[in-house]
Structure formats: C-alpha cells, structure tokens
Amino acid sequence: MIVHIGFKNLEIGYNRRVVAGPFNGSIESGNLIAILGANASGKTTFLRTMLKLQSPVRGRVELDSRERVAYVQQLGDFDTTFPITVREVVAMGIAKRTSIKCVPPR
C-alpha cells in the first residue's frame, strides 16, 4: 500500500471553529474516492483541507508532492447567457461516440 494522502486527527473548519472531524485515514495512489454528505456538512472544506488549500483547525494532512490530484471547485454562480444549449452538449457527446453526425438546429 502506497499512501499519497494521509490525515491524522484532522478537524476542519473556519476561524478556529470546527465543523467536522476528527478524521483519521489515508488514500492510496490510484484510488478513486467519493465524499458524500448532506448540504453544508463539510465535504468541500474537507477536500480543500486535504489538498492544503486551507489549514486544518487541528491535526495534520500529509500529501505526497509527487502525486497529481484533480479538483474542480464548486461554482457559486454561472453565466446563464453561455451560448450553448443542453441539446448541443448532448449532440457533442453522441457525435464523439458514434458514427452518427449530430448537427443541432439553429
């Protein structure tokens, strides 16, 4: 087992106020994980703390600097005028996987 992210007695939160924890564990290289929980339960705070984007309230995180970690930040708002429809997004996916050429109507 090669551990690339480890956390020990990790308590997460903001301004020294603990919102979740303590957590103890590790994630091995090559594993895909899911973090599930109710709204405002600390999932994003946990991720941000594990990736050292924010400091833990208590405990520690060990992150192997050689490991690549993907993280897509939540958007607080989005541009509703973005010039593409759901139909166009679906058409792009279909066109890539099949020989069917989908050209959305304009």
Per-residue pLDDT at 1 exceeds 60: no
Residue type, 103: V
**Domain contains 87:** no
Residue-wise pLDDT for 9-52, tens only, equals 999 999 999 999 899 998 887 777 888 888 888 888 998 898 88
Rounded-to-integer distance, Cα 106 and Cα 100, Å? 18
**Domain contains 25:** yes
| pTM greater than 0.75 | no
- Per the structure, the count of domains in the chain is 1
**Domain contains 99:** no
58-63 sheet: strands from edge to edge = 17-28, 3-14, 58-63
- Give the pLDDT confidence score for residue 76 in this predicted structure: 64
Q: What is the DSSP string of 14-55?
A: ETTEEEEEEEEEEEETT--------TTSSHHHHHHHHTTSS-
**Domain contains 57:** yes
**Domain contains 35:** yes
Residue-wise pLDDT for 65-90, tens only, equals 776 677 776 666 667 777 778 888 78
Domain span at residue 11 reads: 3-63
